[in-house]
Structure 1
Amino acid sequence: MQQWIIILWELSPLILGGVVAVGVWLATRRHGTTPLRGRAGVLAAIGGLVPVVSCTYSVVRITPQLLAAMGLDAGRGVQEAQFLIPLAAGLVALAVLCVPGRRNPSASAAGIARRTAFTFLSSGWTVALTAIAVVTVALSLAAGLASVPDQAGNYTMLTVQIGTMRVGTTIYGWYYSIPAMALLMVLIGTAWAGLALVARPPLGDAREQDAAIRRTRSRNIAALTTGAIAFHLAAILGSLAGTSRLGGGLATDAGVINVGSPFAALGSFLSASSFMATCLGAVLCLSVALTAVPRTARARQHTIKTAP
């Protein structure tokens, strides 16, 4: 029973994110993004679900409290996996989304306007993706600079001086952050390549419909990339929240002096931020999967009536 309670608690941000994603889709389906049909829709559904399923798996298998309840040890490999799984899942999902659509035999190369990878992507998505990537890298660098080598020489520890002694705990140091940042760069590069693959082929005869589909596909690539980074950021924030609990006491003639980590006061904020980042990741990735759901007849009629 205890294990199920832990699992439900750890999965609560994913469940909340799923509820929000469905709610937003229901509220905007009449005038939202153009649904994808056929192979593109199937690939969008698969791609959007891959990061969520992977995050769910990692939460269930990697949660320290759950491992302790099962009598297992959260070793270094387990800790490292929680940071890399979201990015690796994002890469797999991007590979699915970037599968080229069927070529339109009526598409003509004549009169092709110069298009970049961002032609069909709104500037808001570019800003959001850049912002979350910058925050993630900044936290990785800050945690890396605060880390010190462990007994094996790997930068995985944070230590605090208490009198003549030192107490320490693990931190998201260089040992974890350097491989993750390298994978993050690969993820962003893959997203850029995917956007280019969507944008550059010539438009078909039904130019407006083709452009709308490309806007949806470009939006899906940006949303999925942002969602995968959000899951990764949630793992970082959760780890730092655990690190912030480091503390100890020094007995003196005047009493006990309590010493904690440099960011002990941010513990609750980091935990809440990790929860929100997980929710955000679930909302974004599931919104990609929901673009495969066709509009109802009423929604299609509403779109036709409101079309210019």
Structure 2
Amino acid sequence: MEAIADPDDYGELIAALRSTPTAALRPYEVTVLGRWIEPEPARTPASPVKAVAGTPATPLAAPRCEFDVEDAGGPRRIALQAVVPGRRYVIGKGDAADLRVDGTYTSRRHAEVWSEHGAWWVVDAGSTNGTRVEPAGAHAGARVVTANQPVELAEGARIVLSARAEGPAADYPRLALRVAARAAAPLTPIARPSLRTPMTEVLPPRVVEPRYELTALQASGTQSLEVGPSALPLSVGRSRNQTLVVDRRHEGVSGHHLDIVAFDDSGAEAIVHGDNGVRVDGVEHAPGTRFHWRFGDTLVLGAAPTDAPPCWLTLMRSEPVSTSPR
């Protein structure tokens, strides 16, 4: 073991330190020249970024697309500016629609269109009356559009906001595709108010429109409706969106049972949609039948025997009125 030092061994040293005068101590001044620099760690050269397979890229905006629209507001052209491929644009009468149209039987979200792989496509958006596509300049060859099966739109193809019914654009709006060239003249964008000075509209001469009275004898009583050619097609059924709504007690009548599609000097042309058909003066007409209904003849909705009371319809000519064409 080491020996422990005797405190007296340091006595002289302690005495010498205590006897050193304070004035003899001289301060030292240290000056640092330059600056402290920490070396940076060696950097590894960055490898080039490689695209990951399957990673979606941001789509580039395509040229604008134009649609020639016919609806209750009259003919006009609507432009979609800087179309984004793959994005769906809504057609309907709702405030949020990208292509807003006004039609009696148009749904708030009626159909959707989009551009993909250099082509335009359309699907029905779950509308009440459906959608069809007609080739450019022809009614024949129309294709009914469903929510699950997109239909390609050719240049000039016309979208009709009705699967099968025929009628004026005020009831069933139409949109014709017109892919605009890049050098086309600029059009007023969607939803941008016109800044042009309003002009006084020159009204066309009034024309005399024939009028007809449709009377329904139902379980709840008698109901009369005065109509004219401008109101066609006129729909009859138990659904609330029909022109003439039939009492719910008539269970033999379908939601959309009958359409009146045209008038002539002796009566009207009608199409049967209801499952139970119709009967006119003892003659039965099955679903899908187009027949002529003469003025004064009694039509019974739901010709098949049921326990519900029958619903009787009669059609008569009434006094014409003056109207202004749209």
Instruction: Say yes or no: TM over 0.5.
Output: no
Higher relative contact order (CA 8 A, sep 6+): 1
Query: Which TM bucket (shorter chain)?
Result: under 0.3
Greater helix proportion? 1
Structure richer in strand, relative to its length: 2
Work out which of the two has the higher radius of gyration on C-alpha atoms and give 1 or 2.
2
TM-score by length of 2: 0.19
User: Structure 1 length as normaliser, TM-score?
Assistant: 0.20
